[in-house]
Chain A
Amino acid sequence: MSEKHIDELSGIETTGHEWDGIKELNNPLPRWWVWTFYATIVWALAYTIFYPAWPMLSSATTGVLGYSSRNDVKAELAAAVAAKGEMAAAVAAKPVDEILADEKLRTFAISAGAAAFKVNCVQCHGSGAAGSPGYPNLNDDEWLWGGKPEDILTTISHGIRFAADDATRFSEMPPFGDTLDKDQIAQVASYVVSLSGTPANPSLVEGGKAIFTENCAACHGEDAKGLRDFGAPNLTDAIWLRGSGEAAISAQIAAPKHGIMPAWAGRLGESTVKELTVYVHSLGGGE
């Protein structure tokens, strides 16, 4: 540009650009700004030499420092594993009873178990382990298969009615809709309702008791308090897996539903299962 534009008012050269009569003055940039700008250019070039930067055909240049964010993650993971090392080793080596007895180890196992629970168990048992109809509440003191640490460990390890595991807990209530008629089922339901102190139709209860003794006591027990060997629930308490009331009980007698719980030992490993056991046992109902 040969022609110099000078702003009349300030006497300063303009860039020659003008918008609606407003001219842009060509004041020099502050020195500190210019030098900072040059410094950032030098920095940027140096950066591309030391760190991965330029895209190539299959990957990018690796940089002379050999930095990689994946290596960082690997190192952090290794550090996290190492930080847990001693405790994790103790959990792996000791049986659940000993873990429970050692306060430090128990606290560690509860935290680890809680984390594992949130990933693997909440889908059925809920994030607070309070369950829902058909999925047991793990906070209460009613246990279908036992609430001692070793019982819980077995249940988690091998699952319930999980065909792929030979040691799985198994029981199935027969569909009494095939053998009992509607009136009989109503009678048994009334009797079962009466067992937990809930008001029931007394005319039905009497007949129901006889049918119960004949058909149900084998698994649920003469006193209807259940038998954990068969995973048969206690029918005299206030906890109902699939809903309380005569309608829900009748439905379960006629065509029982059975939940399935997968075996976790193979998937999660011994240690995690132990941690889950300690966690579940700590929820308030452990025996």
Chain B
Amino acid sequence: MNVIAKPDPDSEIERLEASAVNSAKVRQPLYAPRKKIFPKRASGSFRRFKWIVMLITLGIYYLTPWIRWDRGPFAPDQAVLIDMANRRFYFFFIEIWPQEFYIVAGLLVMAGFGLFLITSAVGRAWCGYTCPQTVWVDLFLVVERGIEGDRNARMKLDAGPWTLEKIVKRVAKHAIWIAIAIATGGAWIFYFADAPTLFVDLFTGTAAPIAYITVAVLTATTYTFGGLMREQVCTYMCPWPRIQAAMLDEHSLTVTYNDWRGEPRSRHAKKAAAAGQSVGDCVDCNACVAVCPMGIDIRDGQQLECITCALCIDACDSVMDKLGRERGLISYATLADYNTNMAIATAGNTCAITPALVRTPQGKLTDKLAHFHVRKIFRPRTLVYFGAWSLVGLLLLYALLTRDRLEVNVLHDRNPLYVTLSDGAIRNGYTVKLLNKIPEPRTIIVTLQGLRGAEMSVVGIDQPADRSFAIRVEPDKLTTLKVYVRQPADHVEDKVQRFHFVVEDKSSFETDSYNAQFEAPERHK
């Protein structure tokens, strides 16, 4: 690849010798070796936006485990904690037990619908701004630029011989990358244990082996994906580029090269104008190709590799500014608008793209051109996605607000189903499970409701048989009771009788009940 950037004789615009790694004109074979990409630093509003998003997402990732949240003496004080050992998930004021995992499933459904919504409205915004792959590659590129310089310097260094300087720079770059990778892997495990404790344990060598293994695996994947593989992860490994085509329609915003005003492109616009040739706005400076982290040429049109990071928009806009032309040669545009404008530029597809057709005699872009309007975001597809997303959200909210913090589950003994006692009474055995889902100990009253004349006894509690028992339950724990229910012979009404185990917390008035059945031999009918 040619390294030299030579000044253009026509203008102050720097012309970059950049070519797409895979272009529409020259399709690479599927098993072609990777071409190295040296993305140039971009600057502009999208780049600024991406810095902000990067700060926020990295901040969330690294800092969340360190947020504290007081839950009293019987529960951990980490705001976000996935406690595998005790099978609890804490998220600020929410505590989820494994049987409430549907909430997590619901959140995943919401994430899915949210992704569909965002994609159908503004294209692959997830890929371009918030995907961890994108964010970490961005971070790794910052390091690379800081050490090896911008595009040209990096290309020169890469092509040059192994001098001491090159070795030092390369070692430094990879060392910092690995440090970032370790920090990334290290932050992950803090979500699964008390962060301050684990932090100390990690460095004193007393953390669990799985902690070190996880850090090692995530360090390796972060370093490999973010530093070495980069765009290949998106192009070859990720399924989303393949799926996203189904999410987009003609009203979705995507990063678009507006060839209706750019073509025919010319490197010598002034000469061409002097010669009376009509040329478009594109001066073929390749700035859009040079900044692309995916190494593509957006002027080939929308393509699988494009993650819509919009850095080419920034690059092109700054060139247009220098040329004194309107911004937006590369812009976020919908296919519908693009087609409308293309029809104007080609006079309804009757001629080649003619720059004069999109400009007024004074040289301004005509006001017949279509522009994106926010109102186009509200269309049936996005409204359906938003509706589905909101519905799941509201259902989850309802489930969260009305879920039981006290629960009873009952298992009937199956062998034997019933026992006939010497006085003819029938006894059934049950395993009663009391779920105290709050991090405080409490006293639960377990009562029989229905089943005439029956009384129960609880194994391990030395009290005479009764219809009701007070049980002390541990905070945030499941308490298992073995309960025998005994019904006198003359009260047995049927082979199967239904009744309820009712549990109640007298202080909070929470109750729950379980519809259980009582079995008796046939002859009692």
Contacts and interface: CB of A to CB of B under 8 A. Distances in A.
A130 B460 contact: no
A238 B420 contact: yes
Nearest to B415: A128
Given A282-B459, A284-B427, A284-B484, A130 B416 contact: yes
A234 B422 contact: yes
Contacts of A128: 413-416
Contacts of B413: 128
Interface string B392-434: 0000000000000000000001111001111110010100000
Contact of A238 (B423, B460, B484): B423
Given A282-B459, A284-B484, A238 B424 contact: yes
A139 B416 contact: yes
A142 B415 contact: no
The residue in A129, A196, A238 that gathers the most chain B C-beta atoms within 10 A of its C-beta is: A238
Nearest to A128: B415
A222 interface: no
Contacts of B421: 140-142, 238-239, 285
Contacts of B414: 128
A48 interface: no
B331 to A, nearest CB: 43
Contacts of A141: 421-422
A137 B415 CA distance: 12
B489 interface: yes
A238 B419 contact: no
Interface string A115-140: 00000000000111110000001011
A76 interface: no
A238 B489 contact: yes
A97 interface: no
B419 A142 contact: no
Contacts of B415: 126-128, 130
Interface in A164-211: 196-197
Q: For the side of the interface on B, what is the size category?
A: 10 to 19
Given A103-B460, A282-B459, A284-B429, A237 B423 contact: yes
A196 B523 CA distance: 15
A239 B420 contact: yes
A237 B425 CA distance: 10
Interface in A221-253: 234, 237-239
Contacts of A197: 424
Interface string B425-464: 0010100000000000000000000000000000110000
Contact of B422 (A127, A129, A238): A238
A139 B489 contact: no
Contacts of A103: 460
A284 B419 contact: yes
A129 B416 CA distance: 8
Contacts of B420: 137, 140, 238-239
B419 A140 contact: yes
Nearest to B424: A238
A140 B429 contact: no
A170 B415 CA distance: 30
A130 B459 CA distance: 19
Contacts of A142: 421-422
A286 to B, nearest CB: 10
A239 B414 CA distance: 20
Interface of B: 413-416, 419-424, 427, 429, 459-460, 484, 489
Given A141-B421, A238-B420, 8 more contacts: A128-B413, A130-B415, A137-B416, A139-B419, A140-B419, A140-B420, A142-B421, A196-B424
23 contacts: A103-B460, A126-B415, A128-B415, A130-B415, A130-B419, A137-B416, A137-B420, A139-B429, A140-B422, A141-B421, A142-B421, A196-B424, A237-B422, A237-B424, A238-B420, A238-B422, A238-B423, A239-B421, A239-B422, A282-B459, A284-B419, A284-B427, A285-B421
Q: Which 4 A-B pairs have the closest CB atoms?
A: A128-B415, A130-B416, A237-B422, A238-B424
